[in-house]
Amino acid sequence: MKGKMIVKLRQFVLDILPVDVHSSQPVAPDSLPSTGADCLVSCFCLESVSPDLPAFTRALGHIGKLLRPGGHLMLIGALGESYYFGGPGVRIPVVPLNEAQVCESLKETGYTLIRLEVYTLPQDMRVGVDDVTGVFFAKAKKD
């Protein structure tokens, strides 16, 4: 069964590219079709690699250059998180975002928000590895 899944996945995933979201040219030239990608997915990345809200917003704009007009962005991220522990004694800073900031950053960088869902973490799910208060799921379209 595993072999069949690998073969099927390789029909759709053509390449894996390193992306520098803080560069105005996030991938190597000619890495993507000239028309741009149909869809990008980012899960808990942009807020973790950005030192502040303006850098988060710029990163959204940079990756937007990779999308074709009308292409979709699926963005999943943490709300209210200012840090997480990457290992014993390794505290990694995170941009603590709220819903309004996510919406404004998307709008400012040329996306139309299609859907935003927010999940608030109940107290019993807060286990001390971070200070996250919730998770957002955003689907947006590049203008």
In a domain, 54, yes or no: yes
In a domain, 103, yes or no: yes
Q: Which of 73, 135, 78, 55 is nearest to 110 (CA)?
A: 73
In a domain, 29, yes or no: no
CATH number at 91 reads 3.40.50.150
In a domain, 64, yes or no: yes
**What residue type is assigned to position 23 of the chain?**
S
Q: Which residues contact 2 (CB under 8 A, 6 or more apart)?
A: none
State pLDDT tens for residues 77-92.
Answer: 999 999 999 888 899 9
In a domain, 117, yes or no: yes
Q: What is the pLDDT of residue 1?
A: 67
Q: What is the pLDDT of residue 97?
A: 97
State pLDDT tens for residues 5-15.
Answer: 888 888 888 77
Q: What is the pLDDT of residue 103?
A: 98
Question: Which position has the token pair 């998770």?
Answer: 135
In a domain, 75, yes or no: yes
Q: Note the pTM of the prediction, 2 decimals.
A: 0.88
In a domain, 67, yes or no: yes
Number of domains composing the chain: 1
Which domain covers residue 78, as residue numbers? 36-142
Task: Please check whether residue 80 is in contact with residue 131, taking contact to mean a CB–CB distance below 8 angstroms.
Answer: yes
In a domain, 92, yes or no: yes
State pLDDT tens for residues 49-80.
Answer: 999 999 999 999 999 999 999 999 999 999 99
